[in-house]
């Protein structure tokens, strides 16, 4: 959808390029975060896409069309743009702010106002309460939401976002990031997103482009960049805790042992011990008649003991679902002082388990593959 082909920018009265022969391609429906230290060229690169800055050389294509051959006014109206300062018109209502571009494009008024209400509902802002408010009546987080909605009101295929959440306090920033990702899952815009925050980039991006001194030094998925940084600069930039950052990119399913052995209430402790010994397990999960996780028995408790599992099992301290990320899994283990978790589906059915050792092994094997 967005393709940069050897794009450079050298500003007047300078000899060093601000952007130096950058080539990258952002597939349709993906978020590409441009990341790097101040002055590295990331914002200049983004602004060349909608020609707020004209490239010195190279070509930029959107959906196969060369942006240099497109009327600049039409180009900008076809690209959503969100900035850190938000830039809402203080004398216009929320409804009119959202409808700026649809109005410029000549949309029917009823259609554009219905679109504003639809978008407010999408980000959990009640249209009846917010459509006719003015920006000064909104919190900073609410204003930022409106800024994003204004950018997508005319349904542009491409969205440019210049540190859009940078001015929001940390708690609201997380909330807005989560809301935006939910919205993106529905609208599937192709997005260039400038950030200086590696944690934000890891959370938001399908792909990350890391810049240094105007050059693109690595362009890849967040997990690949964290697991296999291209050089020392990238390794230092993403941080010494890059292994911990990877935990939020991987799901429990990635490290889960599926369909492990299990016991039922009527089974004897001796049989439970034999099953654990045969599989090298220190504990085994008790399931009900339909397969729901009900508790567990340890090898230490079962070995040499008599009686049934029903009479001697312990309650599971907690469970986790396969779609949750490994950061949540590890945090849950620490919180409950355990080294493994039973994994259940949405109906509580036992589907596997995940261990701290298994997570560590999986991460180590991924590093060795590089």
77 band by pLDDT with thresholds 50, 70 and 90: confident
- Do 98 and 191 reside in the same domain of the chain? yes
Sheet holding 257-258, edge to edge: 257-258, 350-355, 340-344, 319-320
Among 223, 246, 269, which residue terminates a domain? 246
Q: Where are the beta strands (DSSP E) in the chain?
A: 2-9, 19-26, 31-35, 57-62, 65-66, 79-83, 158-162, 190-195, 207-212, 215-220, 257-258, 262-264, 283-287, 293-298, 319-320, 340-344, 350-355
The DSSP annotation for 200-212 comes to: HHHHH-SEEEEEE
State how far the Cα of 235 lies from the Cα of 214, in Å rounded to an integer.
18
Contact 148, 82 (CB under 8 A): yes
- Do 127 and 183 reside in the same domain of the chain? yes
State how far the Cα of 126 lies from the Cα of 133, in Å rounded to an integer.
11
Q: What pLDDT does residue 342 have?
A: 96
367 band by pLDDT with thresholds 50, 70 and 90: low
Mean pLDDT of 252-257: 93
- Do 226 and 326 reside in the same domain of the chain? no
Q: What pLDDT does residue 139 have?
A: 85
3-state helix, strand, coil in the chain (%, to 5): 40, 25, 35
Given a cut of 90, whether residue 55 has pLDDT beyond it is yes
Domain count, the chain: 2
- Do 223 and 82 reside in the same domain of the chain? yes
Q: Which residue in this structure is represented by tokens 């469970």?
A: 319
Among 216, 246, 276, which residue terminates a domain? 246
| Cβ-based neighbour number of residue 304 at 10 Å | 9
Summarised one tens digit per residue, pLDDT across range 183-214 is 898 889 999 999 988 989 999 999 999 999 99
- Residue 18: which of 41, 48, 36 has the closest Cα? 41
State how far the Cα of 370 lies from the Cα of 353, in Å rounded to an integer.
27
Higher pLDDT, 186 or 318: 318
State how far the Cα of 201 lies from the Cα of 245, in Å rounded to an integer.
11
Prediction pTM value: 0.80
- Do 75 and 205 reside in the same domain of the chain? yes
Among 246, 266, 282, which residue terminates a domain? 246
Q: Which residue in this structure is represented by tokens 């939910």?
A: 182
Q: What pLDDT does residue 312 have?
A: 87
Task: Print the domain residue range for 108.
Answer: 2-246
């Amino acid at each position: 959808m967005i393709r940069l082909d050897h794009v450079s920018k050298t500003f007047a009265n300078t000899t060093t390029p601000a952007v130096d022969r950058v080539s990258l391609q952002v597939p349709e429906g993906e978020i590409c975060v441009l990341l790097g230290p101040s002055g590295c060229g990331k914002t200049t690169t983004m602004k060349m896409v909608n020609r707020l800055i004209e490239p010195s050389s190279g070509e930029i294509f959107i959906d196969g069309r060369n942006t240099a051959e497109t009327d600049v006014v039409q180009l900008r109206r076809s690209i959503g743009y969100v900035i850190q300062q938000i830039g809402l018109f203080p004398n216009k209502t929320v409804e009119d702010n959202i409808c700026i571009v649809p109005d410029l494009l000549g949309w029917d008024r009823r259609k554009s106002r219905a679109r504003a209400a639809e978008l407010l509902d999408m980000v959990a802002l009640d249209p009846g309460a917010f459509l006719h408010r003015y920006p000064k009546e909104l919190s900073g987080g609410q204003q930022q939401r409106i800024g994003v909605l204004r950018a997508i009101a005319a349904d542009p295929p491409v969205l440019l976002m210049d540190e859009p959440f940078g001015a929001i306090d940390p708690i609201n920033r997380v909330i807005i990031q989560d809301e935006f990702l939910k919205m993106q899952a529905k609208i599937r815009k192709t997005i260039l997103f400038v950030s200086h925050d590696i944690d934000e980039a890891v959370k938001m991006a399908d792909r990350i482009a890391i810049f240094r001194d105007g050059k693109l030094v690595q362009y890849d998925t967040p997990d690949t960049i964290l697991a296999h940084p291209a050089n020392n600069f990238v390794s230092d930039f993403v941080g010494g805790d890059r292994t911990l950052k990877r935990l939020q990119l991987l799901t429990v399913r990635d490290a889960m042992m599926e369909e492990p052995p299990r016991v039922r209430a009527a089974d004897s402790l001796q049989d439970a011990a034999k099953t654990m010994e045969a599989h090298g397990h220190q504990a085994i999960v008790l399931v009900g008649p339909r397969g729901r996780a009900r508790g567990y028995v340890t090898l230490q408790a079962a070995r040499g003991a008599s009686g049934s599992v029903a009479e001697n099992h312990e309650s599971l301290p907690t469970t986790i679902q396969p779609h949750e990320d490994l950061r949540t899994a590890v945090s849950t283990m620490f919180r409950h002082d355990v080294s493994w978790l039973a994994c259940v589906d949405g109906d509580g059915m036992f589907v596997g388990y995940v261990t701290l050792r298994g997570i560590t092994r999986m991460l180590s094997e991924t590093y060795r593959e590089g």
